[in-house]
Amino acid sequence: MNQYSKLFILWLLTLFGLTGVKTQAAQQESEGKTLSDTAKKATNPPGDVTRIQLQTTYRQYKNGTDQYAILPRLFLPYDGVFIPGLADDGKRNYYTLLRLESFLVHQHNSNNSPVNAFGLGDSNLTHGVVFRQPWGSVAGGYGMLIPTATEKALGMGKWQAGPAGLITYQGFPGWQMTAFAQQFFSFAGDANRPDQNFMSFQPIVVKLFPGGYYLIFDPIMKFDWKNDDYIIPLNLGVGMALSKNLTFFIQPEYVVHGSTHDAFAIRLNINFMP
């Protein structure tokens, strides 16, 4: 084999090697982009994709009560205004989003404590119309708390309803910022349980990173107008996309103000998009 043949074979091997590296890099880049898109969809509260979440939380209160909760949550978008297909103009600049959540709870303080309980808690139904905007989305509708608790210590014993609103801004690359508010008034239920008048407010800030990684800040604040009790937790979660339809995050939380001040929680949220 002469020198030119050797150089030609070496050139071919080098070409194939570089092509393989380039192909592998392109595949990794494609996979990273797919995971980043998945993380963005999974963390967008009014997103128009069906999502099933399973959230497990361990919470410890300052009075010594321990609580374990498993919360399944469904996000179901569909075309139209509240009723599928109703007033759908075909451009899909708006859609209706249904969110339903309930939870299974086990909590314990001490022997014979009135807070000791195991069972279902109250359920939360939110139903609203989402309007797409060039910079994000806005939504309006209603929320309803349904007294499905199987133990007195796990629910409020009242039917409650009120307006709900949401605004999401995505104008900054790599960021999603949302404000979600619901006002609840009790209108029926156990006459021996106190009436309810409170607002639930949730700021949601997500920082997205390449490869499907993200940070999430999403504490649920409760402003109890009737009892002047304002519960304000702070949290920060770290999450990632595992595939094109599966994400998760883990998140510690601490209550800095209100009747449950000093309560600590740690949660794991798994999000599946079929």
pLDDT of residue 135 exceeding 50, the answer is: yes
Question: What SS3 class is residue 14?
Answer: helix
pLDDT of residue 18 exceeding 80, the answer is: no
Spans of all domains in the chain: 3-272
Question: Higher model confidence: residue 231 or residue 28?
Answer: 231
Specify the pLDDT at position 14: 57
% of residues, the chain, pLDDT over 90 = 81
Distance of alpha carbon 267 from the chain centroid: 12
Decide: residue 227, CB within 10 A, 0-12 exposed, 13-18 middle, 19+ buried: exposed
Question: Higher model confidence: residue 80 or residue 89?
Answer: 80
Q: What does the alpha-carbon distance between residue 47 and residue 120 come to, in Å, rounded to a whole number?
A: 28
Per-range mean pLDDT, top range of 6-20, 40-54, 85-99: 40-54
Specify the pLDDT at position 87: 61
pLDDT of residue 261 exceeding 80, the answer is: yes
Specify the pLDDT at position 29: 47
pLDDT of residue 33 exceeding 90, the answer is: no
| Conformation bin of residue 64: beta by default, left when phi > 0, alpha when psi is -120 to 50 | left
Question: What SS3 class is residue 130?
Answer: strand
pLDDT of residue 97 exceeding 90, the answer is: yes
Question: Higher model confidence: residue 34 or residue 92?
Answer: 34
Q: What does the alpha-carbon distance between residue 218 and residue 118 come to, in Å, rounded to a whole number?
A: 27
Mean pLDDT of the chain: 89
Specify the pLDDT at position 24: 44
Burial state string for 149-158 with b = 16 or more CB within 10 A and e = fewer than 16: beeebbbbbb
Specify the pLDDT at position 233: 98
- For domain 3-272, is the CATH number 2.40.160.40? yes
pLDDT of residue 86 exceeding 70, the answer is: no
pLDDT of residue 20 exceeding 90, the answer is: no
In contact, 124 and 100? CB cutoff 8 Å: yes
Question: Per-residue pLDDT tens for 201-256?
Answer: 999 999 999 999 999 999 999 999 999 999 999 999 999 999 999 999 999 999 99
Question: Higher model confidence: residue 274 or residue 2?
Answer: 274
% of residues, the chain, pLDDT over 70 = 85
Phi, psi (degrees; rounded to nearest 5) at 98: -110, 130
Question: Higher model confidence: residue 7 or residue 85?
Answer: 85
Band (pLDDT 50/70/90 cuts) for residue 82 is confident
pLDDT of residue 35 exceeding 90, the answer is: yes
Please report, as a single letter, which amino acid is at residue 15. L
161: its two tokens = 């309803």
